[in-house]
Amino acid sequence: MRREPVLIYCGIDWAEQTHDIALVDDTGQLLAKRHITDDAAGYKILLDLLAEHGDTREAPIPVAIETSRGLLVAVLRTGERQVFAINPMAAARYRDRHSVSRKKSDPGDALVLANILRTDMHAHRPLPQDSDLGRAIAVLARAQQDATWNRQMIANQLRSLLREFYPAALAAVEPWKNGLCRPEAFELLRLAPTPAQAAKLSRAQLQAALKRAGRKRGIPADADRLREVFRAEWAHQPPLIEDALGKQMLALLTQLEAASKAADDLAGAVEETFPQHPDAEVLLSFPGLGFQLGARLLAEIGDDRTRFADARGLKAYAGSSPITRASGKRSSVTRRRVKNDRLNHAGYLWAFSAITASPGAKSHYRRRRDEHGDWHAAAQRNLFNRMLGQLYHCLQNRKLFEEETAFPTQLAVAA
């Protein structure tokens, strides 16, 4: 059923406590404005105001707002309504079109947002109509990614602090994978927060600490190694300063333990939820993608098949495709800086893993390095760009990844 042309547009200038609303028609005339609170009563006033001006389930009034998150957006996204998340910088540029005095007010910003839809709705993209499961996976995947970044940031702070007064601790955890983020490191540093205390630890105390951390094998050998490291000759801070630094280290250690637990718990939630999505089978068929990376890609791409007109739009959104700047006789081809940073970061890890998991991907990477002279990052970005196009095709057609189809030339050359 073909919809009638939309004649009314809504703009909302949101804030933490209150929101300003403006409704305009297709001629730009202000039809209504309202100031509402950020609660259920305010949301009801907004929906009633929209209904008074012809908002129906079959032909809802489109809404422009400067955010894509929150309860207000969730209320507006019910049904078939188009909600446009306008970048605040873009809204500021539009504001200059309506007033040369550069004046600003919240009701005025709501009017500007409504006029953006009236004049340039075709140039802006509405929020995708992802499924509830897809949006739930996005919440978990992004939270897990943030927790991982937070854990690494705190681990870097702890490492820098230990270099100032406790280098023996860094030498002790160096042979272990994930070093300072392991339970063994937590137990040792909690048991001996200063190098002076670590030098007094006995074999029995070290073995008990390793057992508390969950270690099952190699406990005596590791305890002997740790005892030798802690009792070796190291430079020391003055005793009072060393004790103070030890207390600071314990505070950072508590934060690191909490961040590690949060990252692990969220990773478990992602592994439990992600396989339930219909697109999980397609994503996991690609080399280099596991539950965590697959969920991150799904979180940023979404499951709305109409979100991207073609693979080129997805590649530009991810920042993997190059951008050409030309003026007169001068032109340059560079990488994109305006992109979805989360998707771009996941793509970098994906390409890195695919090089070792796929013969065709490895051959493509080597060809970019050897024949085109790309640096490592540029070659990985090119590989990500190609595999992202393949992923778009597979998701649109519900097909699994096939190595022979994806990299026929590279496999023939490798053979």
Task: Give every residue of the chain whose pLDDT is below 50, as ranges.
Answer: 1-3
**Over the stretch 31-85, which tens digit does the pLDDT of each residue have?**
999 999 999 999 999 999 999 988 888 889 999 999 988 899 999 988 888 999 9
Tell me the pairing of strands 323-327 and 330-334.
antiparallel
Q: What is the pLDDT of residue 1?
A: 41
Q: What is the pLDDT of residue 61?
A: 92
Q: What is the pLDDT of residue 5?
A: 55
**Over the stretch 306-364, which tens digit does the pLDDT of each residue have?**
999 899 999 999 999 888 888 888 887 788 888 899 999 999 999 999 999 999 999 99
Q: What is the pLDDT of residue 148?
A: 95
DSSP state, 66? S
Q: What is the pLDDT of residue 353?
A: 94
Q: CATH assignment of 8-127?
A: 3.30.420.10
Q: For residues 281 and 258, give the distance between their C-alpha atoms in angstroms, rounded to a whole number.
A: 32
Q: Please give, one letter per residue, the 3-state secondary structure of the chain.
A: CCCCCCCEEEEEEECCCEEEEEEEECCCCEEEEEEEECCHHHHHHHHHHHHHCCCCCCCCCCEEECCCCCHHHHHHCCCCCCEEECCHHHHHHHHHHHCCCCCCCHHHHHHHHHHHHHHHHHHCCECCCCCHHHHHHHHHHHHHHHHHHHHHHHHHHHHHHHHHHCHHHHHHHCCCCCHHHCHHHHHHHHHCCCHHHHCCCCHHHHHHHHHHCCCCCCHHHHHHHHHHHHCCCCCCCCHHHHHHHHHHHHHHHHHHHHHHHHHHHHHHHHHHHHHHCCCHHHHHCCCCCCHHHHHHHHHHHCCCCCCCCCHHHHHHHHCCCCEEEEECCEEEEECCCCCCHHHHHHHHHHHHHHHHHCHHHHHHHHHHHHCCCCCHHHHHHHHHHHHHHHHHHHHHHCCCCCHHHHCHHHHHHHC
SS3 390: helix
Give the start-to-end residue ranges of the domains of the chain: 8-127, 136-272, 280-414
Length of the chain measured in residues: 415
pTM of the model: 0.86
Q: What is the pLDDT of residue 299?
A: 95
Share of the chain above pLDDT 70, in %: 96
Per the CB < 8 A criterion, the answer to whether 195 and 168 are in contact is: yes
Residue type, 96: D
Q: What is the pLDDT of residue 412?
A: 54
